[in-house]
Structure 1
Amino acid sequence: MLKVFDRSVYGHEASRQLATLRQGRRSAADFAIEFCTLAATCEWNEPALTARFLEGLTGEIKEEILARDLPSSLDQLVEMGYSPLQIL
């Protein structure tokens, strides 16, 4: 069943998708969900994931986050990505 119906990506495919993932017109929350799903299945380290998450955000949200002190973990950064939406 899983071979037929499971459309999850792992390893190299997750890394490839993560490398090109962008927020675009969707909410930061939707972007964060997809980002974290892909991040859980690839083997990137936390600094690389943090940099990629910031790079994938829209300019407006990224600028708001970079104007503050950057958190020390990816989880905190993802949470911070939600708050600029209420500010903007």
Structure 2
Amino acid sequence: MVTIRLARSGAKKRPFYHLIVTESRNPRDGRFIERLGFYNPVAAGQEVPLKLDLERIDHWLERGARPSETAAGLIRKARKAAGAAEA
């Protein structure tokens, strides 16, 4: 099954996550199909904490990809921010 989930990168004590599409059997930081954006939980100052390609996320969701709980929360957060930016 194809899933949308986070892959960790970054330094020790400075996490940085990529939102990826991957086969569910692949390891967390292993092979992936496509990178959809990133999440930086320790963003400070002018750094961007969350950036996602919502069009590509919709593309994968239409084809049956299932987001993890954390990924689903970040997608909701990004949609909310995109809606506020349009208004």
State whether TM-score is above 0.5.
Answer: no
Bigger proportion of residues as helix: 1
Larger radius of gyration: 1
For normalisation by structure 2, the TM-score amounts to: 0.31
For normalisation by structure 1, the TM-score amounts to: 0.31
Where relative contact order (Cα < 8 A, 6+ residues apart) is larger, the structure is 1
